[in-house]
Structure formats: structure tokens, C-alpha cells
A and B are shown apart, each in its own frame.
Chain A
Amino acid sequence: MSTFALDQIQQQLPDALVERYVDRAGDAWGVIKPERIQDTARLLKDKLGFRLFVSMDAVDRLHLPPEEQSPRFEVLYFICSPERSEHVRLKVRADEGQEVPTIRFIYQGANWAERFVWDFYGVPFKGHGDLRRMLMYEEFVGHALRKDYPLRGRQGLIAERPIKDIFRGPGTNGVAE
């Protein structure tokens, strides 16, 4: 397995990399400090040619063994270089309510991915600017993929939203005033 990207991050941004390990399948992972994720992303995209944004998600570590529970969330970043056929797997650890800097303006694909993470885990992204929910509706309370959100945590019907954005044309449009 090629570990070019992580080697380069370790060399060029030694203080950004908190931890580095290899998983059971032999793939390398890097844990990045939250405040350095933008620098890392810029290095990957501009200098190392990792231009293909793949995906983002998060893990709620609430039910893991005690030594792995803090900080509570792990935000995952997958970025790829088509030329090298190499995926780089990065993680950022953040506590409840702690803001992670956005990489939306470095990789445009992260826009929706960060909205997804916010929607389901409640990890806020600093500087995102448009952090609406992605799949759930705005009135939904809580974050559904957190481990303390119940499996059958149904929520009641929401009130009908006022319709503002329908233009009915000049006049009363057949509706008696």
C-alpha cells in the first residue's frame, strides 16, 4: 500500500499530524489536529495532486471502550489521487460542540458532505456559512446518527410551512379576497 500522502504530511506539516497507524487491512490512517485540517487539505490538493474529493463522514465514539471515548467525534476525510491510485484516509477528533474548520472552499465537494455530518452528528464546521441540514428537515430536533439518539426516536408532525416563494401573478389569481 502506498503511503506517499501521509509521508509527505509527516514531512511537511509535522505538527499537524497527531497520530499515524495502519488498520487491519494494511491501509494507513492519519489523525490531524482540527486547527490544521485546512493546511493539510491545501497541501494535499495543491502540492501533492490529491485533487479528487471522495467522501466525508463521522463516527460517534460514545459506545466505544472508555479509553477511546474522548473526544467524542471523529470526522473522517477520504481524498484520492487518480494518477497515483491512492486514497488518503484522514481523521479529525472533535469534542461535543467543538468547531472543525471547513474545507468547503478547498474541496467544493465538502460542502454537502459537511452539511451531512452536521445533520447527523451535530459537528459544526467553522466558516462553512451554509450549514443547513442535508437529509433531515430543519424542524428535526437532535442528530439522528448519534449513539444516544434512540433507534425508534420518532418525532411528531411539523406545522405546515408558510408558502412564500410561489408567485401567483398579478391580480387575485381567481382567489376571492
Chain B
Amino acid sequence: MAQAGDDYDPTPSEDELEAHLQTRNMEINLGPSHPATHGTVRLKLELDGETIVKMDPEIGFLHRGFQKSCENVTWTQCIPYTDRLDYVASLTCNFGFITAVEKLMGVEIPERAKYIRVIGAELHRIASHLTTAGALGLELGGFAAFLYAIEGRELITDRVTELTGARLTTNYGRIGGMNRDLPPGWEENVLKSLVKIEQYAAEVDGLLTRNRIFADRVRGTGVISKDDALDFGFSGPCLRACGVKYDVRKNKPYWVYDKLDFEVPVASDGDNFARYYLRVLEIEQSIRMIRQAIDMMPGGPVMVDDWRIALPPKDQVYSTIEGVIAHFKLVMEGVPVPVGEVYHATESANGELGWYLKSDGSGRPYKVHVRAPGFQLLSALPRMCEGRMLADLIPTFDTINMIGGEVEQ
């Protein structure tokens, strides 16, 4: 039998012209555009029958020079680029970047802005988890769960549209706080939607979790050990599925996570089912957090009162010289970020979203490094799939929930 790495000569030998059953390994491409995978990734697979012998993911189809683009615009102008990183949960990327810049500048933002960020980030965490769970069902052949999940996500998208004016490319939040306050009556809308989302999440849970066909496909497949998961740099639900209790919101609380009462679910199997089920449990926790945050949110300003960072009010710009100067300097030169560097981590839907920022004081970032959780997860995909069946690749690829936008920058 042929081994992994054998040189393959495609010209059939004399006896093969008669024998149609091949015993040699076959190389196939899964992707870059394949109906059973979401995301544009080319997986070069070497198969022995239906067993994956060797796997080599080739990524970069969605590379658009995120870092290079950021190095050539002002700090505020980077925020729209961060939308396009994790396009399923763009608010977490917006807020993560802004928080890292604020840490570099040493700016403390108003309390209300912190609560708004928690609400936004948790809403998008629910959206991301619903998409992952729904798409997992869809790609394993259960279409109904996907419809409920997307219906729930659509409600979140509607609320986010009311909040930011855009469905996906949110561009919400500015350095030093939020660019605008919540629209009137928005909290009530969110609370109403949460009731609906709870029902949809329960539907997805009920359709999939105890479904025998689904369980057979996800239980015991895509297993990774705790040591390997740490070694490869897993984070988020995928790391917690291996029994490591690590969540940036608990371990290094930012915004107001230390004031909220929530739990971090942990599993120990490290298989696809654990990764899927933790997401279902996290949706409940996120709903809990949003309700608390809306309840506890104080009034007051949402932006720091400093015209070097925040745009002055329009009437001041039109009537006073200070307003004109502040407005002009902020728009033309950007936010003055001092010389220095920082690494700051936030918890996005898929794990630790880390930012290394370096400023040379010129008003533009010198370096913007984003630590995308999916990049490390995807690099472990060969480890999880080699020696397993080809069919198990699909749920494994789904549950690591690699997002092309952030992995390929």
C-alpha cells in the first residue's frame, strides 16, 4: 500500500489499465470553494480510501493586507478595517482594537460606554455561536436547525442595525468611548429580542443535541488532547472544550466583566460535541450578561470629555475657534497616540483576540498585529483529522469556526 509522501506518477502502469480498484493513495483538493465548508480554504488531502493520511491547509485567499492598510491610515481610520476581520461578530473586533488603543494611550472611558461595549460584544457573541451551531447542523444534513439559528441571528442583526446603522460593517465605537449613544427604546427592543433568541437557541439545542444522527457524527470526532490544544494555541470555546478553564473575561477582566455574574462552561472531551455544546451553553450566559448589563447600565456621557480625543460638538465647531481647531486637528492628524507599544487581549466569540500595537507618535500605527484565534485553531486541523475519516473533517472544520477574514487578515 502506498504511504504518505510517496511520489505519485499519474501515468497508469500496464496492469492498472485492466484493474480498476486502486490501492494507491489519492490526492484531492477540498476547496477553495466547497459547499460543505464555509470559508475559502484549500485543503490538500491525501486519502487512503476514506481515511485522511495527510492534510495540508493552504490559506490566504482572503488576504487583503490588513496590517499594511492600518499602517498607512490614522488610528481612527483603522476601525472600519477591523469590521472585516471577524465579519460574523464585528463588534468584538471593533471594541477589541479600540480598547487596546485606549490602553496604549492610558485613557479611561466613561462607565456607560463600557456597558454598551459589553452589550454589543455579547450580542455578537450570540450571533457567532448561533451561526456556528446552525451551520454545523446544516453541513451535517439537518437543515431545520440552521433556519432557527439564522432567524435568531437576524434579530441580532436588526438590533445591531438600529445601533450602528449597518448590518455587518458596524464601525461602531471610537477611541475614548462610543461615537453615539444608544437609540431611544433600544434596550427594550433588545430585551424583547432576547426572549425570542432564547427560544430559537432552545430549538437549535433541541433539534441537535439529543439527535442520534447528529450525535453520532460529532461525538468522538475531531478529538484533540489538552496538551496539544495548549501547545497549538487554542483559546475560547475550543480550549475550554479540552478542560482548560481559560477565558480572558474571567482571567483578565476588562470593561465591566468583573461586575457581572456569569459562568464559564468547561467540558473535558475535546471533541466536536464538546465544542458545539459549549457554544450552546455560552449563548445562555451571554443572554444573562446582556440582561444584567442593561439593568446596571448608568446614564451619563459615552465619550471622554477631551477634545484631543473626542470630536467637539457641532455647535462648538461652528461657533468657537477652539472647536474649529480641535475638529481640524482631530480629522487631519488623528488621535495623538504617544510613542509606545502594548499587547492587549480581549475575548472574541472564538477565543483570545489579541492586539499588539506599536506607535511611533506620528498619528498612524507603526505596527498593528492581530492575534486571530482562528489562525491557531486552523493550524491544528491536520492534527485533528489525520488518521480519521474524511467525513469527520466537515464537523471538525465547522466547530473550530475559522473565520477567513481574521485568519487571513
Contacts and interface: CB of A to CB of B under 8 A. Distances in A.
Interface of A: 23-25, 27, 29, 51-55, 57, 59, 63-65, 76, 78, 80, 82, 85, 87, 89, 107-109, 111-113, 116, 120, 133-137, 144-145, 149, 151, 164-171
A52 B230 contact: yes
Contact of B354 (A23, A54, A170): A54
B contact patch SS: mixed
Nearest to B367: A59
B356 to A, nearest CB: 6
Contacts of B246: 52, 80, 82
Contacts of A87: 343, 345
B354 to A, nearest CB: 6
B26 interface: yes
A64 B360 contact: yes
A145 B65 CA distance: 8
Interface string B214-237: 000000000000011011111100
A151 B72 CA distance: 8
Contact of A53 (B67, B233, B378): B233
A23 B105 CA distance: 11
Interface in B3-40: 8, 10, 12, 16-17, 19-20, 22, 26-27, 29
28 contacts: A24-B338, A25-B340, A25-B342, A51-B230, A51-B231, A53-B233, A54-B352, A54-B371, A55-B233, A55-B369, A55-B371, A64-B360, A64-B366, A65-B360, A78-B343, A80-B246, A82-B246, A109-B231, A109-B232, A109-B233, A112-B378, A135-B408, A137-B60, A149-B68, A164-B10, A165-B8, A166-B10, A168-B10
B196 interface: no
B358 interface: yes
B252 interface: yes
- The size bracket of the interface on B is 35 or more
A78 B27 contact: no
Contacts of A107: 231, 233
- Cβ-closest 7 pairs across A and B: A109-B233, A135-B60, A82-B246, A55-B371, A85-B251, A112-B379, A53-B233
Contacts of A113: 375-376
Contacts of B352: 54
A134 B41 CA distance: 12
Given A24-B338, A65-B360, 15 more contacts: A25-B342, A25-B344, A27-B343, A51-B230, A53-B376, A59-B366, A80-B246, A82-B244, A108-B379, A109-B379, A120-B67, A144-B68, A167-B10, A168-B10, A171-B17
